[in-house]
Structure 1
Amino acid sequence: SLQAANLCSSYAPQACRPSLLRLARISRTPATAVCPFLRAVTGPERPSRPPRAAGARKLPVLYNSRVSALRLCQCRIVTAHASMLRSTSALLLTRLATTTIRAMAAIDSSGCAGECYADGTYQRGSRLRLGLVRHGESMNNVHEAQGTYKTGRVADPELSPRGRRQAEVLGAFLGNTSKAEYFGLGKIDEIWVSPHRRTLDTAAPAAKATGLAPRVYTDIFEAGGIYDANDAYDAFVARGGMTRAEMQAAHPTYVLPDAVDATGWYRGPGKESDDECRARAKRVLERVRATASGLKDSRNVLVVAHYDFISAFLDAVLVPGTTGEFARWRHHNTAVTVVDIEQATGEVAFMKVNAAPHIYEADEGLLSGFPL
């Protein structure tokens, strides 16, 4: 289901109509059921004017068939009604979730169908904003790129030299409030981090730049967990991961849960399966929604995690019935995906997907994570 963001709920620009109608056709759903905004643009009549709140500031309505470069209308995916769509449209939903639909509408006296008002239109309730970060390039990533993953991998790899530099430029970017606003993370309130060595090290520059003490969460680890494998990669032995003493020595400011002890933190019997990871990601989503529901004020959280886990989390939001491998999403090393969880409803809205402006800004050949 599409819902307009930053636009009066009674209006929709003509330029959005083709995308909305296409979604309706593919999902075999009545157009007005896919998006109530189509009611305002599919008929010849003009939309009725909403009641005006006392003292509300007038804003021009973006309702004009003459598209020009003056005003931006954004539509975003809201997942509360995603179940109404047939599975054939799931891929379209996923693609639309990664893309902001932009329509430029002329703002002049002849192009306005009415007025919308700032009060109640642009103000939203509290929300929990998550900046989901994939860790910097690890030595296992290097082996994978070189075709030596099965023989060269280790259970809990360190960052490569390039991965450490990626973490540094991310930390510097997030430490600059004006730059961090690109992600909507101008003020980061918390940092959550996976207990893998590569994520702990990736979070360190951001923690230093923001002055925050990262909290380690043992339920956001990478799919598979911590394990050793034979050369054929068909037999696996679980390992505990970094111990409490090792984490405290490497990162003394980090806040560790009791689950990290003298034996490590990973408790799996072997290599976690992809579907077991997906089930865990759904539990994390419910935990995050519960956290959001208790908020009085909006908060921004940086979550330093992993390719497959972030993919599983996003699938849990958009297409929760997905099974098997994590093939729907792409994440560069230290790229950021930003989602909002609404306090009142638990709905999840996408802001950014796989955004890496810090990598391009550095211009040091730091882009890595998957073949382009």
Structure 2
Amino acid sequence: MARRFVVEADGGSRGNPGPAGYGAVVLDPETGETLAEAAEYIGPATNNVAEYKGLIAGLRAVRALDPEAEVEVRMDSKLVVEQMSGRWKVKHPGMRPLAAEARGIFPPAQVSYEWIPRERNKHADRLANEAMDAGKRGEQWRPTAGVAPSADGAVEASAEAAAPAVAPPGWAAPADLGAPATFVLLRHGETALTPEKRFSGTGGSDPELSPVGRRQAELVAAALAARGTIQAVVSSPLRRCVGTAEAVAARLGLDVHIEEGLRETDFGAWEGLTFAEVRERHPDDLQAWLASSKAAPTGGGESFAAVARRVAVTRDQLVARYAGLTVLLVTHVTPIKTLVRLALGAPPEALFRMEISAASLSALAYYADGNASLRLLNDTTHLR
């Protein structure tokens, strides 16, 4: 007879979206004994994202104990329970990869879902808040309770071993996390606007690569072909990125997949202007933009906060789609800086502390436990 476990999971966000974390606990259904705990601060996210990540962590913790187990999931999120039970559709594009990931941990027949009132989910709620508190201190949450043996004595691990491992800083990751989704981030080659340092976003003239930019694309294509690690090519829809991506993909024998979420910021009325011209024409708006990630450029442009939300959703979708693969993302300055900032847990003002050169390469690895590692930043050696 299959062993049975109860998972209680929760997630929260202080701002929705805002600083978020999740908690999950695995219980013995007969004794109520705690067998494993998992919690993590995940940075800026919505309540729903945090709740799904709590569910995923709980299911993974059970799988570490017994992949053949039957699982009863209890959550106070009506949305997650109804969607995972199949009674409600997963309509939000940012939730679909998370729901798919949760469904893939166990065969559906092994998992059931029950909604419970919030007061009956206090353990998981406490863990989620502990994780958010730890994140506020710049720390990772650590389990404190041990794991008691099961009735047959088969489980003798600590709670830390049963819970999803936390990837350590640096190059290495625990072997049991499997191969990460690795994003090689390529900024497009130069356009006519690049050397003049003019704002060039989504709402502008959509310039093509200049002759210099086309040469840069060929150089980076040769360098990536020599490495032989790229398994897919994904590009922003803007022409400078598509042109760069096509040069690389042709060299690698791959297709180019267009991803709208990788487009550059819409700079509104600043499109095509230099920084000095913007400062002369829109001094107050520029000062506000420099002071706050929530401020948008003049004329209905896109704030960096809005870009971060868009890029985070796109990142999650791509991580789920390309789990374990090495993928080239051909995109722009702001999306690359944003992906790096989010991976490092750095504040919004970090965007102004990075340089991303035309046709430069950066790299991020995303592990199964949700952690990320920065492996390369602004490499231009292939252009020399």
Relative to the length of structure 1, the TM-score reads 0.47
**Per chain length, whose mean CA-contact separation is higher, i.e. which structure has more relative contact order (CA < 8 Å, sep 6+)?**
1
